[in-house]
Structure 1
Amino acid sequence: MNRTDAEVDLVVPTPFAPPAGPYSEYARVPQTERWGTYVAHYPRFWYLVPKRFLYHVSGDSIQKRVTPYIERTFETPHDIVHVSDIYLDGYGMLKYCRRHDLPLVVNSHAVDLHNYESFNKGAKKRLRETIEYASRILVVSDELAGVAKRFTSEDKILTVPIGEDPTKFPTDRREQIRAELGIDPETKVLLSVGAYSEQKGIRELVSAVNALDRQDVLLVTVGHEGDLRWWLLDQLGESPHPTRSFWQLDPVALRRWHIAADALVHPSWQEGRPTVIYEAMAAKTPVVASNVGGIPEMVVDGETGVLVPPHDPDRLRAALETLLDDPDRMRAMGDAGHQRLVDQQWTWQHHARRLNEIHREVMAEW
């Protein structure tokens, strides 16, 4: 967005860190950080647990703390507010939008809408209040658009896919990258990228890969959050196959692993349109994933990858066995996925242009 004709002030509300545990690392998040052409601001708020009972209080904390932070930090009047999810962030910005008479555009990447029934009464009320105020509800898939229709009129909902920049993936250097990573030419690399959590199908992944009756498999996992991190490391230590596991891998390094991989494996229980699948398509890597959420809108079963039911490690193992026995088919699927990414214009550049168009429309209506 900031490389287009829009000027962006970026605010990333960040929880206060607990003194111990897996989320204590939030204490290391800086107050501000420069990213290329813009500066990210990280004002703190209270994220209270257990979430089941206190999720509404976390939303109130964002609203109370972030609004004054923005008002004292930025001098330039804003024309529009765009948030990356309906709840918490969208609700957190309601007070600011109302005070300054600003339109609000909200994104949903699936978590808030798919998990609505698990929220407490107060959080549900705040999510619906945000949707009612918002000028547009942007969703990443047509499947999610159908879910959003439960909460608002269809004319407020737009499917706006995200994407990836294929020029950042030097696929012509695949063999060299594999050599630099110490991967034998005959080794089949299965890559998993996502939170180390039950909902991402980590248990099914481990079960399926462990059951593969072959000696040429390397499982590589990359995670950035999730309460199964240490469970996974224990399991990988007992795996019959060689493994590598990474925590918060640098984006450039992650792109190298996408290129080196023979297949991306993503057996989630629910999804919108996962960014990691766009990355695999940009890297010419075929995808083996669950047929849930917006994934079937991305992966053409049998053409750019293979879709399997969630919660089914046996079907996942069988799909992997079949693909690994046919490397030519895997490369053809990877090429087809890359071409689909290009043809559908699933790129960040196109996404930014589309957001510019939507913002202009909303401001004209406001």
Structure 2
Amino acid sequence: MKPTIVHLSGADHGGAERQLLALLKTALSGAGNDYRHEVVLVREGPLAADFAALVPTTVLAKGRPLDFRFLRELRSALQRAQPAIVHSWAPTPNLWGPIVAKSLTGRSRPKTVLAEVGLDEWKGRLLKLADRLSYRCADLVVGCAQAVTRAAIRRGAAAARTDTVYLGVQLPPWPERAPIRGRVQLLGRVDFRKGHRLLLEIWPEVKAAFPAAELVLAGPAASAEELELRADLLDQIGRNPVLADSVRMIDRVDPAEYLAQAEVLVVPSTSEGLPNVILEAFSHRVPVIATDVGGIGELVRDGHSGWLVPAGDRDAFRDALLAALADRRLAQDRADAGRARVAEMDLAASLAHWEEIYARLLEPAR
């Protein structure tokens, strides 16, 4: 009988959730898969139906930050599934998955893998203490980049119980680029860490240099904090004639179609792990300007596969964007170097690494 892996995840359009969905599709399409997969979602979301179409999926209804009803339901779901391994993805699953799995007793206690996909510079003391507890409960903490794994160790993960698995991407056939001239795009949820305000601050200077340029900010806002930020950004855009004339905010988009329109993708984040959107952009030959946070520098090499600037340096980010818009050939050459880099990071390789980790964790039991 195949061991069961229960993936604890969110159901929104985040990078971790989309990565898990892509890995499950890859696993189910391959021959000789040694594991049975199930998904437990912390709450309803736009990807819930996609997960349910692939594997058995349980949707919980987490409400408050500390929701004891949710914790009981999660424990019951794990008891019913009797997984060999609980694999958590994204911040909320990572916080509660290892802790709840650890509370199971006897033969029903699974091994736990925590997929760490971000950094925690923004977190307060209480959340950092909670992360430290979840790290101690997990059998293995796996970063999505070397920098993320090192950060997890600094935050309390035992070095001997860590590993690194880079994200995977489905590489499409070589796309012929026909972007909209001057189209600058950001793809990410409306979050204070994503750098929307920096872009709006520098945009009048970019627009002065390139009058035909336009900025499109695409991504959902779900939480109260995100909705408040979105309202503030829309107000800022509406009060500035330059921004009102050339900046648009839209909701969810199809990444492939959206990226095909971009002359440049910008990632001005102040905190990241290894953004899935950069892998997707490079796979579609889209030039990237990003900040040097998290594992981004392991993917974007400044002067070779893109522009990499210090986080929060508005002048450096502006200058990089101006350079990319001024020299389309240079920008495309760097994007093509990025595609060569992500060609080594396909989903099959990522899945194989995860399955090697599962086998390693289960080896004593076998």
The aligned residue for residue 355 of structure 1 is 354
The aligned residue for residue 233 of structure 1 is 234
Match of 1:192 among 156, 180, 186: 186
Deviation by residue 1:306-365 (Cα, 9 ceiling, x = unmatched): 1112222222111111121101101111111101111xx222222111101100010003
Provide TM-score, normalisation by structure 1.
0.80
CA RMSD of aligned residues (A): 2.5
The aligned residue for residue 93 of structure 1 is 101
The aligned residue for residue 80 of structure 1 is 85
Tell me whether 1:216 sits opposite 2:212 in the alignment: yes
C-alpha displacement of 1:248 = 2.2
Task: Give the Cα–Cα distance (whole angstroms) in 1 for the partners of residues 202 and 311 of structure 2.
Answer: 12
The aligned residue for residue 266 of structure 1 is 267
Report the secondary structure of 1:44's partner residue. Answer: coil
| Structure 1 residues 34 and 104: CA distance shift in structure 2, 3 A | closer
Report the secondary structure of 1:171's partner residue. Answer: coil
Task: Give the Cα–Cα distance (whole angstroms) in 1 for the partners of residues 193 and 271 of structure 2.
Answer: 7
Tell me whether 1:247 sits opposite 2:246 in the alignment: no
Structure 1: tracts of 5 or more residues without a match:
15-25, 49-56
Opposite residue 44 of structure 1, the aligned amino acid is: A
C-alpha displacement of 1:233 = 2.5
| Structure 1 residues 148 and 97: CA distance shift in structure 2, 3 A | farther
| Structure 1 residues 39 and 231: CA distance shift in structure 2, 3 A | farther
The aligned residue for residue 63 of structure 1 is 71
The aligned residue for residue 306 of structure 1 is 307
Task: Give the Cα–Cα distance (whole angstroms) in 1 for the partners of residues 251 and 125 of structure 2.
Answer: 29
Structure 2: tracts of 5 or more residues without a match:
1-23
Deviation by residue 1:231-290 (Cα, 9 ceiling, x = unmatched): 2223344416523322122xxx22112122111111111111111111111111111111
* Identical counterparts, % of pairs: 23
| Structure 1 residues 96 and 63: CA distance shift in structure 2, 3 A | farther
Q: Paired residues, what number?
A: 322
Task: Give the Cα–Cα distance (whole angstroms) in 2 for the partners of residues 31 and 338 of structure 1.
Answer: 30
Task: Give the Cα–Cα distance (whole angstroms) in 2 for the partners of residues 130 and 289 of structure 1.
Answer: 30
Task: Give the Cα–Cα distance (whole angstroms) in 1 for the partners of residues 285 and 325 of structure 2.
Answer: 16
Deviation by residue 1:112-164 (Cα, 9 ceiling, x = unmatched): x5455x142xx555433332232211001111222222313322111111132
Does the Cα contact within 8 Å between 1:194 and 1:224 map onto a contact in 2?
Answer: yes
The aligned residue for residue 8 of structure 2 is none
Report the secondary structure of 2:115's partner residue. Answer: strand
Opposite residue 10 of structure 1, the aligned amino acid is: V
Opposite residue 358 of structure 1, the aligned amino acid is: I
